[in-house]
Structure 1
Amino acid sequence: MTAKYRLLALDMDGTLLNDEQQITPKTVEWIQKAVDAGVHVCLSTGRAFRSAMPYAEQLGLKTPMITVNGSELWREPFELYRRSLMDPALIQQLYEIAEEYGIWFWAYSTEQVYNRNNWDGDIMGREWLKFGYSTEDDEIRHKLLMQLMDLGGLEITNSTPTNLEINPLGVNKAYGIGEVCKLLGIEMSQVVAVGDSLNDLAAIQAAGLGVAMGNAQETVQQEADAVVASNNEDGIAEVIEKYILSEAEVTLGTDC
């Protein structure tokens, strides 16, 4: 008497949130229907915890959360389960590369987000989770990508077509969802993972059902099992209605 899919892992920006950074009433309604049907709903985001938590509270979620692309895993809101840190010497190196190209950068410590505007140089005195670059210049971004790949030991993704995000190798949303599955006692085959960017790709490939939003980057759409409406057209509501609750009804009907 259980649904085929037990966990819905949701990226936030470009997926759960529309372009106004809001969760629409229709999406809230369908997420509540999924929760009421016994489906775990997990935020899986590149954002830091404090930036993601207000949306979890809006949805009333008490489930595990994946933040900073998997560098932080939360057993439940405000209870940290696992954290993957980056070597401060690597952060120094990544910072120097940003300066070399003269491009925008940011870095997530365990306390706050630093960027070009508030960088104070205190690298060794902090614990680091993620580093990012942003540039509209395709040529610079390609050179940067090649340089980062040569460094090795990095998980390189993006959250928009014009940025690059760096986590420790092997730390991504698929890893995070795998850990959440262990906490919940379910299998990866029972997961629906939804996203729009390269930092969602590993999760979409690993999940039982990988779903790309209609606004997703082309590579993500090609790798997904299904493509739904965009983040401005309640794509998440479509995922739940079409692939999760309908599956539950079919399974319940069969078992009964």
Structure 2
Amino acid sequence: MSSYKLLALDMDGTLLDNEHSISQENRRWIAKAREAGITVMLATGRNLPSVMPYFQQLELDGPLVTVNGSDVWLRPGELLQRTLLRPEAVTELVRLARHCEVKFWGHAVEGTFRQDRWPDQEEAFQWFSFAVHSENKENLEWIRRESLRIGAFEISNSHPCNLEFNPPGIHKASGVGKVCEMLGISMDEVIAAGDSINDLALIRAAGLGAAMGNAQEEVKRAADTVAPANTEDGVAVLIQRYIFGLE
């Protein structure tokens, strides 16, 4: 057995295959890790309602990090920490997105809103994150550049065509760090796996940072190891190698 005590998993592009399912092998080895005393948690850009079916499928009962670190849960229903965007910052980000005519959405305590059903008054809601999507890289770069005039954000992505905005200093690493404080362990005792820029801070902070074979190149360069792709049971392979010492 290894000295690692916590396994933090991104969902889309990491734990989930391209059909958004958890493979049998990944489920089997996650169960084995938990039986061996490893805390397995999800650290995702998704909001809690979209995480819960997978949380229940894996029969997890512990901590999780949602909306890229804006919410940290001791367990579902028991919030450990919440950090929100300023509503006026969201209003300005919406203005930028509409100027470029790109797709956009936001996660709020009250639900997820998209550009075709966007609320009239952003200040009436509690916002976790805001995101835009465009295949036009110039649009994304312009929005990134202009967003810096609005104020400080944690800017990442879960896809190369996205920009995702969280409160400054809030990311998956800050969320998992809070969980480690609660568990009385260090980040050196964490294995973290992911595929996108919103996983980068966590991969760098973890004792073992793993990029999936399908990860963005910047994530691979920052990782300690590269696992097989999300379509090749990469999470199961990580558990076998680094928790059970199998090849």
Q: What are the residue-to-residue correspondences of 1:210-221 with 2, within 5 Å? A: 210-221=209-220
- 1:122 is displaced (CA, Å) by 2.4
Contact 2:154–2:165 (8 Å) recurs in 1: yes
The aligned counterpart of 2:94 is 95
In the TM superposition, what whole-angstrom CA distance separates every residue of 1:103-132 from its partner, at most 9, and x where no partner exists?
100011102100111112121111110000
CA distance in 1, matches of 2:183, 2:152: 30
Equivalent AA in structure 2 for residue 219 of structure 1: E
The aligned counterpart of 1:252 is none
- 1:150 is displaced (CA, Å) by 3.9
Equivalent AA in structure 1 for residue 208 of structure 2: L
CA distance in 2, matches of 1:197, 1:150: 25
The aligned counterpart of 1:14 is 13
Q: What are the residue-to-residue correspondences of 1:29-68 with 2, within 5 Å? A: 29-68=28-67
What percentage of aligned pairs have identical amino acids? 45
- 1:149 is displaced (CA, Å) by 3.2
Q: What are the residue-to-residue correspondences of 1:133-152 with 2, within 5 Å? A: 133-152=132-151
Change in CA separation of 1:84 and 1:17 when aligned onto 2, cut-off 3 Å: same
The aligned counterpart of 2:112 is 113
- 1:82 is displaced (CA, Å) by 1.1
TM-score (norm 1): 0.94
1:207 equivalent to 2:206? Answer yes
CA distance in 1, matches of 2:143, 2:181: 36
Equivalent AA in structure 1 for residue 140 of structure 2: R
Equivalent AA in structure 2 for residue 223 of structure 1: A
In the TM superposition, what whole-angstrom CA distance separates every residue of 1:121-146 from its partner, at most 9, and x where no partner exists?
12111111000000000111122222
- 1:156 is displaced (CA, Å) by 0.2
The aligned counterpart of 1:127 is 126
Tell me the number of residue pairs that the alignment of Structure 1 and Structure 2 aligns.
246
CA distance in 2, matches of 1:246, 1:77: 32
The aligned counterpart of 2:238 is 239
Q: What are the residue-to-residue correspondences of 1:137-216 with 2, within 5 Å? A: 137-216=136-215
SS of corresponding position for 1:232: helix
CA distance in 1, matches of 2:119, 2:179: 35
- Unaligned stretches of 5+ residues in structure 2: none
SS of corresponding position for 2:65: strand
Equivalent AA in structure 2 for residue 23 of structure 1: I
SS of corresponding position for 1:149: helix
Equivalent AA in structure 1 for residue 231 of structure 2: N
- 1:47 is displaced (CA, Å) by 0.1
Equivalent AA in structure 1 for residue 225 of structure 2: A
Equivalent AA in structure 2 for residue 29 of structure 1: R
Contact 2:212–2:228 (8 Å) recurs in 1: yes
Equivalent AA in structure 1 for residue 166 of structure 2: N
Q: Which ranges of 4 or more aligned residues in structure 1 deviate by more than 4 Å?
A: none
CA distance in 2, matches of 1:192, 1:222: 17
In the TM superposition, what whole-angstrom CA distance separates every residue of 1:7-49 from its partner, at most 9, and x where no partner exists?
0000000000000000000100000010000000010000000
The aligned counterpart of 1:26 is 25
Contact 2:2–2:242 (8 Å) recurs in 1: no
Q: Which moved more, 1:111-120 or 1:20-29?
A: 111-120
Q: What are the residue-to-residue correspondences of 1:70-89 with 2, within 5 Å? A: 70-89=69-88
Contact 2:209–2:224 (8 Å) recurs in 1: yes
